[in-house]
Amino acid sequence: MSDETKPKTEDSWLELAKTVIYAGAIALVIRTFIFQPFNIPSASMEATLLVGDYLFVEKFSYGYSRYTFPFGAGPVGPALQGRFPDFKPARGDVIVFKFPRDNSTDFIKRLIGLPGDRIQMHDGILYINDKVVPKIRVEDYVETVDGIENRVPQFRETLPNGKSYLTLDHEPYNPGDNTGVYTVPAGHYFMMGDNRDNSDDSRMGVGYVPADNLEGKALFRFFSVDGSAHWWEVWRWPLAIRYSRLFTLID
């Protein structure tokens, strides 16, 4: 290698390293402060969200807290508690949050109860502040389990602010269909899954979710696969993609 070629090669590697560092820094800023990708690992939000859905979460919807940062590694200390700015979520938002008892785990549920609300389930009917949340029967949700088609009763529920969404009722006598009254503490929220009989939420182990634990609002799906193909089965990818769910908004 000539003396002229060596410096040029070193300059090329230096430029490549700078490009990689800049790209990584930009990606980290976007993920921390703007949008974060998230995939759905469980059926607790069916039929709104399916296992295999990939979506973007808007990180600035409710302001920022320590949990906005990757691994909850944001600034801490008495003067840095809370959210900044403190934008309030709306009832019915689909939200990604840190599990209160294990902040290394992300959950995604729908916001049902605001601070001070009284929440109760009675005979499968949701009550907010002692008032019935209307729901109407719609077409059955059709799911396939182990190759067998199963029809699940589906309802459209409408919250007091007009937010409307679909819920599932797999079991008419599920323990979660009848609860005591939950009074949501100040600075906390009450979350529920749309798949009411298959969701660990504020009625159960999740409990009340502190405002600081909110990571962001789920906005839209950018990708979805049905699980019929492994990552290495490239030839099966076209049949595994749920094309109708690509780039769709989340209700």
Residue 130 is given by DSSP the state: T
* pLDDT reported for residue 78: 44
Least confident window among 32-41, 64-73, 137-146, 151-160? 64-73
Q: What kind of fold does domain 34-249 have according to CATH?
A: Umud Fragment, subunit A (2.10.109)
Q: Buried b vs exposed e over 219-242: b needs ≥16 C-beta within 10 Å?
A: eebeebbeeebeeeeeeeeeeebe
SS3 content of the chain, % helix, strand, coil (to 5): 20, 40, 40
Any idea where the domains of the chain sit in the sequence? 34-249
Per-residue pLDDT band for 175 (boundaries 50, 70, 90) equals confident
pLDDT tops 90 at residue 247? yes
Residue from 39, 41, 48 nearest 167 by CA: 48
Q: What is the DSSP letter of 204?
A: T
116 touches 190 (CB < 8 A): no
**207-244, pLDDT tens digit by residue?**
999 999 999 999 999 999 988 887 778 888 899 999 99
pLDDT at 8: 59
Exactly one of 44, 61, 65, 199 is catalytic; which is it? 44
What does the alpha-carbon distance between residue 183 and residue 201 come to, in Å, rounded to a whole number?
15
| pLDDT at residue 127 tops 80 | yes
Residue 60 burial (10 A CB sphere; 0-12, 13-18, 19+): middle
Distance CA 244, CA 228 (A): 16
**If you search the block for the tokens 């290495």, which residue do you land on?**
232
- In the residue annotation, 131 being an active-site residue is answered as no
Record the tokens describing residue 79, joined without a space: 């003067």
The active-site residue out of 59, 98, 109, 217 is 109
For 93, the token pair is: 């938002």
- Is residue 89 scored above 70 in pLDDT? yes
- Confirm whether 135 is a catalytic residue: no
